[in-house]
């Protein structure tokens, strides 16, 4: 983005600002002609401007687009998204995040895209990432925990999503260990953590989050129509994707920082109260392992504690189904 367009926007957005075209050009020390060009560039991106009877300019509409100016405007995080890579179309934000993390990108670097052509789920599954309808995003994290506690990041992210949806949109979210967020039993958000680690140390974790925002039923492929939902379907109206994303990033950063300082323990009550597995009979499959029993708790490492045949087993990964 042209830095001038960026400056124009930040001046117009400043609280209580009121500029005529001439005053705005003077403040930016540019000609009115250049200002008109910058406003035209912004209009091409989807910004709309209005003016009052005194010819003071105001922003009438902002585009619903995953562009840095929009994400950063009003974002309250300290480190998350302070390094931000926005794409219109990408293979997978996680794949790009892995490349950037390998090249030394700092913690909190965010990759976000309007569309993914190779969005990935766990175990090589596909994540459907329709253009402009969701939040397809990855954050690079460098948590000081051993690799077997990284499941905790999935739980931290799921909880951040649930709290954001509940506080911003008043919808109730259920969490299905380890990485699913559901509304009315349908998946609205999936999380994929990818890791580079040694036996006792994590180099980096890429935390990928796919959030369905504005899809209507017909927008999902038929295979997902019965199992997937979106925030819009849940609220019954349009959802401000960018406002939701900013709120989510802020909450994710603050829960992640608590996790870094104190581990998962302080976050467990919030996770547990939304868990659809605790207290239920479940089957958990992980590779060739299959455990059937009662899910009784979430362990402080993020694992699922299952009581099976009189023994308590902590599972650190797997696919859980309710029986």
Q: How far apart are CA 126 and CA 104, in angstroms?
A: 27
Decide if residue 122 touches ligand BT5 (CB under 6 A).
yes
Decide if residue 187 touches ligand BT5 (CB under 6 A).
yes
Q: How far apart are CA 58 and CA 46, in angstroms?
A: 14
Contacts of 231 (CB under 8 A, 6+ apart): 165, 169, 171, 183, 188, 211, 212, 213, 214, 239, 244
Decide if residue 128 touches ligand BT5 (CB under 6 A).
yes
Q: Out of 35, 101, 228, 234, which residue is the one contacting ligand BT5 (CB under 6 A)?
A: 228
Beta bridge partners of 311: 308
Q: Out of 62, 109, 157, 179, which residue is the one contacting ligand BT5 (CB under 6 A)?
A: 179
Q: Out of 19, 47, 127, 204, which residue is the one contacting ligand BT5 (CB under 6 A)?
A: 127
CB nearer ligand BT5, residue 91 or residue 263: 91
Q: Out of 11, 21, 195, 224, which residue is the one contacting ligand BT5 (CB under 6 A)?
A: 224
Token representation of residue 29: 């020390």
Local structure of 191: helix, strand or coil: strand
Decide if residue 137 touches ligand BT5 (CB under 6 A).
yes
- Which stretch, 57-65, 102-110, 205-213, 266-274, contacts ligand BT5 (CB under 6 A)? 205-213
Decide if residue 280 touches ligand BT5 (CB under 6 A).
no
Hey, CA dihedral for 222, 225, 231, 236, is it positive or negative? positive
CB nearer ligand BT5, residue 120 or residue 251: 120
Decide if residue 154 touches ligand BT5 (CB under 6 A).
no
Q: Out of 8, 66, 85, 138, which residue is the one contacting ligand BT5 (CB under 6 A)?
A: 138
Contacts of 78 (CB under 8 A, 6+ apart): 253
**Minimum separation from the CB atom of position 112 to ligand BT5 (A):** 8
Greatest alpha-carbon pair distance for the chain in Å reads 79
CB nearer ligand BT5, residue 62 or residue 229: 229
Residue nearest to ligand BT5 (CB): 190
> DSSP characters for 75-98?
---SSTTSSEEEEEEES-HHHHHH
| Contact assessment for residue 212 and residue 133, using Cβ atoms and an 8 Å cutoff | yes
| Contact assessment for residue 243 and residue 260, using Cβ atoms and an 8 Å cutoff | no
Decide if residue 125 touches ligand BT5 (CB under 6 A).
yes
Instruction: List the one residue out of 120, 117, 114 whose CA is nearest residue 94.
Output: 120
Residues that bind ligand BT5 (CB under 6 A): 92-94, 116, 119-122, 125, 127-129, 136-138, 179, 187, 190-192, 208-210, 212, 224, 228
């Amino acid at each position: 983005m042209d830095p001038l367009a960026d400056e124009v926007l930040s001046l117009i957005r400043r609280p209580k600002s009121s500029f005529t075209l001439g005053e705005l050009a003077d403040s930016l020390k540019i000609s009115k002609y250049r200002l008109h060009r910058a406003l035209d560039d912004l209009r091409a991106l989807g910004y709309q401007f209005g003016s009052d009877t005194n010819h003071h300019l105001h922003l009438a509409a902002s585009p619903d687009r995953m562009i840095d100016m929009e994400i950063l405007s009003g974002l309250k995080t300290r480190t998350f998204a302070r390094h931000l890579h926005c794409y219109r179309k990408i293979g997978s934000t996680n794949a790009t995040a892995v490349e950037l993390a390998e090249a030394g990108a700092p913690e909190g670097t965010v990759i976000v895209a309007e569309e993914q052509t190779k969005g990935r789920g766990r175990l090589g599954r596909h994540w459907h990432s329709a253009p402009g309808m969701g939040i397809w995003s990855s954050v690079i994290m460098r948590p000081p925990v051993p690799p077997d506690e990284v499941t905790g990041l999935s739980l931290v992210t799921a909880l951040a999503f649930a709290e954001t949806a509940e506080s911003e949109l008043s919808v109730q979210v259920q969490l299905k260990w380890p990485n699913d967020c559901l509304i009315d039993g349908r998946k609205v958000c999936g999380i994929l953590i990818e890791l580079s680690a040694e036996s006792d140390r994590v180099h980096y974790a890429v935390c990928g989050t796919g959030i369905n925002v504005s899809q209507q039923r017909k927008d999902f492929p038929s295979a997902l129509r019965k199992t997937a939902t979106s925030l819009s379907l849940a609220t019954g109206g349009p959802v401000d994707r960018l406002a939701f994303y900013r709120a989510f990033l802020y909450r994710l950063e603050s829960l992640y920082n608590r996790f870094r300082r104190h581990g998962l323990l302080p976050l467990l009550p919030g996770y547990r109260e939304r868990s659809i597995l605790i207290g239920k009979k479940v089957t958990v499959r992980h590779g060739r392992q299959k455990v059937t029993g009662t899910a009784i708790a979430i362990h402080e490492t993020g694992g699922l504690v299952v009581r099976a045949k009189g023994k308590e087993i902590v599972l650190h990964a797997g696919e859980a189904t309710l029986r």
